[in-house]
């Protein structure tokens, strides 16, 4: 055959290229199908893993796993501190270990502060309590292990993280239908779960008689975890502290919501217009501190972003 026939034969065997728009449509449709398939496959698995994680919350003696690991007590571990006055600060004539920032003035070494009724946690906030918050707020999964002791105080967290925990717990308590009725009445009285201000902390630590330590004005080594290598389980020390509270001296420093300012103390110091570089008061000393730093009037301070294994917190329900 001639060249013309060859060309005609070749042309008839050439495959026609599809229109570009048709190709894009097919690819997009296939992508959607794959995405839907992956979603259907992965979603049940993710839900199962989440359910399994929450189902693995362990029972801890003395604490309620159904109430965010708060103490299994009538008021979930909150202890009433009655309204009234207490002696705040230090007089170096009575306490030779006193620091200058514990004195109200050169002429007036101590002050009398009047506080309304409030409720403070018997124990420092625990690792289990803080882990429950992280898990339920979607920040971190609960990972139960046999090595981790969940009733150690929560530590190595910042001031904003501690405050965020209190706000989360406040919401959980208000939404719950099975908390003690007495606790619900307290929350309904315009009170909120938060960090204690430093006056609330000091009154809880020293009672109303001006004692130097949470148990008395005499040092008793066996009543506090200090000069030590590590923290102890909450509730391990000072079971005879004021108001029946535990570990108000040593173990871990406890953050407050008060910025560090010179005495006299005022509740107005804790509200609004705070310097962006404010340091926040922490109280009680830690396991790594010496005797002078576990006195009830000691005022430590920390940058709000700092994290340290010696710093934790306890919570209050307060109207202030």
pLDDT digits (tens, 9 = 90+) for 221-237: 999 999 999 999 999 98
Report the chain's terminal Cα–Cα distance, integer Å. 105
How far apart (Å, rounded) are the C-alpha atoms in residues 316 and 80? 10
Q: What is the pLDDT of residue 152?
A: 95
How far apart (Å, rounded) are the C-alpha atoms in residues 193 and 76? 13
Burial class from Cβ neighbours inside 10 Å (0-12, 13-18, 19+) for residue 255 reads buried
Please provide residue 93's backbone torsions phi and psi, each rounded to the nearest 5 degrees: -70, -25
More confident site: 240 or 174? 174
The tens digit of pLDDT for each residue in 251-287 reads 999 999 999 999 999 988 887 555 566 899 999 999 9
Mean pLDDT of the chain: 83
Task: Give the number of other CB atoms < 10 A from CB of residue 281.
Answer: 28
Q: What is the pLDDT of residue 155?
A: 95
Is the pLDDT assigned to residue 23 strictly greater than 70? no
The tens digit of pLDDT for each residue in 287-315 reads 999 999 999 999 999 999 999 999 999 99
Q: Residue 189: pLDDT band by 50, 70, 90 thresholds?
A: very high
Cβ-Cβ contacts under 8 Å for 288 (sequence gap 6 or more): 226, 227, 228, 310
Is the pLDDT assigned to residue 55 strictly greater than 80? no
Contact 128, 151 (CB under 8 A): yes
Q: What is the pLDDT of residue 108?
A: 85
Among 272, 237, 243, CA closest to 257? 272
């Amino acid at each position: 055959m001639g060249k013309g026939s060859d060309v005609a034969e070749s042309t008839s065997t050439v495959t026609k290229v599809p229109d570009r728009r048709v190709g894009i449509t097919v690819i997009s449709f296939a992508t959607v199908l794959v995405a839907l398939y992956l979603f259907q496959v992965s979603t049940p698995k993710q839900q199962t893993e989440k359910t399994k994680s929450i189902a693995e919350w362990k029972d801890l003696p003395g604490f309620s796993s159904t109430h965010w690991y708060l103490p299994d007590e009538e008021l979930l571990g909150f202890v009433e501190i009655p309204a009234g006055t207490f002696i705040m600060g230090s007089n170096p004539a009575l306490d030779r270990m006193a620091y200058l920032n514990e004195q109200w003035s050169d002429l007036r070494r101590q002050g009398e502060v009047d506080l309304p009724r409030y409720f403070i946690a018997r124990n420092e906030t625990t690792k289990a309590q803080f882990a429950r918050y992280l898990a339920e707020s979607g920040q971190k999964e609960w990972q139960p292990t046999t090595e981790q002791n969940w009733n150690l105080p929560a530590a190595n967290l910042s001031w904003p993280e501690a405050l965020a925990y209190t706000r989360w717990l406040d919401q959980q308590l208000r939404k719950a239908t099975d908390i003690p009725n007495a606790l619900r009445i307290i929350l309904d009285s315009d009170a909120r779960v938060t960090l204690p201000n430093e006056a609330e902390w000091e009154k809880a630590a020293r009672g109303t008689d001006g004692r130097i330590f949470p148990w008395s004005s005499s040092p008793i080594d066996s009543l506090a975890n200090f000069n030590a290598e590590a923290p102890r389980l909450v509730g391990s020390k000072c079971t005879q502290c004021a108001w029946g509270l535990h570990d108000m001296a040593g173990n871990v420093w406890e953050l407050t919501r008060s910025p560090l300012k010179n005495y006299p103390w005022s509740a107005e110091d804790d509200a609004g217009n705070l310097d962006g570089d404010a340091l926040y008061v922490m109280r009680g000393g830690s396991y790594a501190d010496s005797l002078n730093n576990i006195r009830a009037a000691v005022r430590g301070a920390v940058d709000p972003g700092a994290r340290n294994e010696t710093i934790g917190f306890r919570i209050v329900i307060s109207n202030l």
